[in-house]
Amino acid sequence: MGFPIILTGLAVLLAAAVVMPGSPLPEELLLLAGLLGAVGVVWVLLARPRGRRYIVLDGSNLLHWQDNQPHLATVRAVVDAVQAQGYRPVVWFDANAGYLIGDRWLGPPELSRALGLPARQVFVAPKGTPADPLLLEGARRLGARVVTNDRFRDWREHYPWLAEPGFLIRGRVQDGAASLSLDAGQARSRRAA
């Protein structure tokens, strides 16, 4: 996004230099400045994100979606599937996720690289803290639904809106391809407070 802003700024500077009293620059350059400015403004408007829809992924649950074995590739398949549908995924993992897929603790930087996401969209619950309440609160704040096969029975009393149709999105990964019920229910009532 930086280049269109620089282009627009240069157009403004060129126009100012042309209209400055005593400027040696020809007035015909105003047309060029206007054209550069218009291109820069249109570029900025077209490049800005439009109404991103967030969706929260229960990464620790998704790890087991293919063959009931923990694989980060299954989470990546779901990330790719929701992005293809125009969603911006936010992924939550339990603290032990790295030990399930490898031999050490993994944090957001390592997991985000493997998932092809910015680190700010990947979270790992602190050791000894379940990810469930953190991801549910995150989903509430974002007004987002949750992709998981977990029913969150232990959390229904504290989060009664879990029962809303379409809030929890079920799915599976088979042969590396994710299958989700994204359109079923379209529950979106958990808006940011």
pLDDT digits (tens, 9 = 90+) for 157-174: 999 989 999 999 999 999
Give pLDDT, residue 84. Answer: 93
**How many Cβ atoms sit within 10 Å of the Cβ of residue 82?**
24
Residue with tokens 């800005």: 48
Give pLDDT, residue 44. Answer: 62
80 sits in which H/E element: helix 72-84
Give pLDDT, residue 9. Answer: 79
pLDDT at 53 over 70: yes
Give pLDDT, residue 19. Answer: 82
pLDDT at 150 over 80: yes
Q: Can you tell me the distance from the alpha carbon of 144 to that of 57, in angstroms, rounded to the nearest whole number?
A: 10
Higher-pLDDT residue of 142 and 16 is 142
55, β-bridge pairs: 89, 145
Nearest Cα residue to 132 out of 163, 102, 155 = 155
pLDDT at 189 over 50: no
Q: pTM of the entire structure?
A: 0.70
Residue type, 138: G
The predicted-structure confidence for 87-129, as pLDDT tens digits, reads as follows: 999 999 999 999 999 999 999 999 999 999 999 999 999 999 9
pLDDT at 191 over 70: no
Give pLDDT, residue 6. Answer: 80
Residue 129, phi then psi, degrees to nearest 5: -115, 125
Residue 178, phi then psi, degrees to nearest 5: -85, 140
Q: Can you tell me the distance from the alpha carbon of 78 to that of 89, in angstroms, rounded to the nearest whole number?
A: 9
Q: Can you tell me the distance from the alpha carbon of 54 to that of 135, in angstroms, rounded to the nearest whole number?
A: 12
The mean predicted confidence, pLDDT, of the chain is 86
> What share of the chain has pLDDT > 70, as a percent?
85
Task: Give mean pLDDT, residues 26-46.
Answer: 73
Residue with tokens 């599976």: 172
Q: Can you tell me the distance from the alpha carbon of 78 to that of 64, in angstroms, rounded to the nearest whole number?
A: 12
Q: Which residues contact 12 (CB under 8 A, 6 or more apart)?
A: 33, 37
Task: Give mean pLDDT, residues 16-36.
Answer: 82
Residue 152, phi then psi, degrees to nearest 5: 55, 40
Burial class (CB in 10 A: 0-12, 13-18, 19+), 4: middle
192 band by pLDDT with thresholds 50, 70 and 90: very low
77 band by pLDDT with thresholds 50, 70 and 90: very high
> What share of the chain has pLDDT > 90, as a percent?
63
